[in-house]
């Protein structure tokens, strides 16, 4: 069995930056354990497998795997898959069947190897539990307790399909100084997969509203995490006025993989009615998987 695949960098237009992604095309013949093994072989934060959709109205079914588990939803695989399909078909929109639900993506072609995809969250973020104490959080990050919290933002636990602890900290300098202490991690962060999204506001950075770092999911630090940004939309909405708001978030800068994630938040009658994620992706390579007979 031979399968074509593409390699992309997502949430960037610059090759070898952003978050790497493998997209395996026409993967209908693969079993679940084969997809998991291929994702482990690529050893990227996520690998996408494109299959025929169940509905004729949809463009493709999407399966998303980390090296160790399948995910119901993730942002950078959704953007990357949408850009691949949009560039191949020259479509301006695609509908993807993901485990979390159907995701509709609007696509803009930049050139033959680069595109921009935006999509509405198929599941709006919701608070799913309590956050640890600021002192416990600070100990896991190598920071002072006084550095936990940013303006009106305080730690919370949200999910838009994948659970995260959202940890606001004082400023971008504190974000850069994080030194993880893994001892006792599961006791401090028992929910979900123990993944945390540490963020701060960046009023001093032109064109950037938030900066963030993600730790967890068995992959250490991630250069750009759309599912975490989607969860963050829930916390942002809590402190936003009614109406539509757009934000730009940077991630991966401390890793040398700068990424930009676009966020959309819409509130009406003090309730979140729409959350959106957007970003670029650029194809950097392609190849063939040879799985033998």
User: How confident is the model over 23-82, as pLDDT tens digits?
Assistant: 999 999 999 999 999 999 999 999 999 999 999 999 999 999 999 999 999 999 999 999
Choose the catalytic residue: 41, 46, 113, 286.
Answer: 46
Read off the pTM. 0.95
Is there a common fold for 2-115+280-290 and 126-279? yes
Nearest Cα neighbor of 230 from 101, 42, 49 is 101
Given this model, what pLDDT does residue 216 score? 86
46 is catalytic: yes
Q: What are the extents of the domains in the chain?
A: 2-115+280-290, 126-279
Given this model, what pLDDT does residue 70 score? 95
Using only C-alpha atoms, the chain has a radius of gyration, in whole angstroms, of: 18
Predicted confidence (pLDDT) at residue 293 exceeds the cutoff of 80: no
Torsion of CA 159, 165, 166, 171, to 10 degrees: -160
Candidate CATH numbers 3.10.310.10, 3.90.800.10, 3.30.70.890, 2.130.10.30; the one for domain 126-279: 3.10.310.10
Given this model, what pLDDT does residue 65 score? 96
Candidate CATH numbers 3.30.450.20, 3.30.360.10, 3.40.50.300, 3.10.310.10; the one for domain 2-115+280-290: 3.10.310.10
CA distances from 64 to 75, 160, 201, 245 (A): 10, 15, 30, 29
Confidence tier at 194 by pLDDT (50, 70, 90): confident
């Amino acid at each position: 069995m031979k399968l074509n695949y593409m390699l992309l960098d997502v949430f960037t237009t610059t090759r070898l930056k952003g978050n790497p992604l493998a997209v395996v095309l026409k993967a209908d013949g693969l079993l679940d354990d084969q997809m998991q093994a291929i994702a482990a072989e690529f050893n990227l934060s996520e690998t996408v497998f494109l299959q025929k959709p169940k509905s004729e109205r949809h463009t493709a079914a999407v399966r998303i795997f980390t090296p160790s588990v399948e995910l119901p939803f993730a942002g950078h695989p959704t953007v990357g898959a949408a850009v691949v399909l949009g560039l191949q078909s020259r479509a301006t929109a695609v509908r993807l069947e993901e485990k979390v639900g159907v995701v509709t993506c609007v696509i803009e072609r930049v050139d033959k190897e680069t595109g921009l995809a935006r999509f509405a969250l198929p599941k709006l973020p919701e608070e799913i539990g309590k956050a640890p104490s600021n002192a416990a959080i600070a100990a896991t990050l190598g920071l002072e307790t006084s550095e936990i919290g940013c303006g009106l933002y305080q730690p919370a636990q949200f999910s838009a399909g994948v659970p995260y602890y959202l940890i606001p900290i004082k400023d971008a300098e504190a974000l850069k100084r994080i030194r993880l202490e893994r001892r006792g991690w599961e006791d401090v962060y028992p929910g979900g997969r123990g993944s945390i999204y540490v963020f701060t506001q960046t009023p001093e950075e032109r064109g950037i509203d938030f900066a963030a770092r993600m730790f967890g999911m068995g992959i250490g630090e991630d250069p750009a995490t759309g599912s975490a940004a989607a969860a963050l939309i829930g916390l942002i909405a809590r402190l936003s006025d009614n109406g539509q708001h757009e934000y730009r978030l940077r991630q991966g800068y401390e890793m040398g993989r700068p990424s930009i994630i676009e966020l959309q938040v819409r509130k009406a009658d003090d309730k979140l009615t729409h959350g959106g994620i957007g970003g670029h992706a650029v194809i950097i390579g392609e190849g063939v998987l040879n799985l033998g007979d």
